[in-house]
Amino acid sequence: MADTNLIIWKGPTNALVYQPNAPRLVYADRVRAIDIYKGEQSLCAASMLARGTFGSGARAGWVVNQCTVDTSRGDIGTLTIEWEAGGSGADQPLPVGDFNLEPQELYPKIERNSFFSGIIPDVVRGVYNALYAFNQSGNPNAATTINAAINGVNFANYPNTSADAQYALGTELLNKLANGEESYYVAGYRYSFETFSYTQPSLSNGGIIGTPGGPLASNLPSGVAWLRLADKLDPAGVNGSMFKLTQNWLGGPNGYWDSDLYTT
């Protein structure tokens, strides 16, 4: 029986031989292509590519993920190069991003509750003046302060209310604030989703009232107004070959976001 340790490479000494079982294509979390060559072990080792090397020619739009050389007995080597789609020239399908929708506790100030929906700004200011006046402990002037605020109101500008209604609302607000009820619970949502690109995307600093996109765009909870928060960017490929953009949105009840404070 021949000694297999004496097997030597009989192919060309100055070139690698592309194998008939290559390339192998893999569509998984990333699109991968695997090239396999055989040749002299020394040539296989000298032909290895570092991780992060961008391809050219037929491998333009690809980047090396890993490279290995397996040595057979004798002088025969097998060079395996695993590529991932990446870089500005890539045209393979991008990964499908995940999403997350979770409840977000909101604690707006109590005067924003629907219980106080009819209260006017002058009365709210009067209530806070009465509450935080110097002699707020058992403040004997609280009613006077609220009445003074009401007396300064031109009710022609508020046809759907009256001084008596405003006094009642103002007194309720004062009592609740004095009881420590400064805010109340509202359930909102935090929604985030990912998109991928082969080139660096533009980023948003947020502060924009709008309608989110992403996987749940047509199935988001009803009655919710959305504010875009700042984006997050992460590397998703080797050597800057792919980017993962995460958009973040915060949802509150319709009308929750003030369009004077946030762009639309």
What would the pLDDT profile of 134-191 be if each residue is shown by its tens digit? 554 555 577 788 888 888 888 888 999 999 999 999 999 999 998 999 999 999 999 9
Among candidates 152, 179, 150, 144, which has minimal Cα distance to 162? 150
**Cα–Cα dist 81/73, whole Å:** 21
pTM of the complete model: 0.81
Q: How far apart are CA 185 and CA 205, in angstroms?
A: 27
Give me the pLDDT at residue 6, please.
Answer: 53
In this predicted structure, what is the pLDDT of residue 133?
A: 67
Residue with tokens 């990964």: 95
Q: Which residues of the chain have pLDDT under 50?
A: 1-4, 136
Q: Is 208 helix (H, G, I), strand (E, B) or coil?
A: strand
Q: Which residues pair with 63 in a beta bridge?
A: 54, 84
pLDDT at 150: 87
Measure the CA–CA gap between 90 and 68, rounded to whole angstroms: 23
pLDDT score of 1: 42
Peptide bond into 23 cis (omega under 30): yes
Query: Strand runs (DSSP E) across 198-239, as ranges?
Result: 208-210, 224-228, 232-235
Give the number of other CB atoms < 10 A from CB of residue 130: 25
Residues 214 and 251: their CA atoms lie apart, in Å, by 15
From the number of C-beta atoms within 10 Å of its C-beta (0-12, 13-18, 19+), residue 197 rates as middle
Structure tokens at 110: 């109590």
pLDDT value for 136 = 46
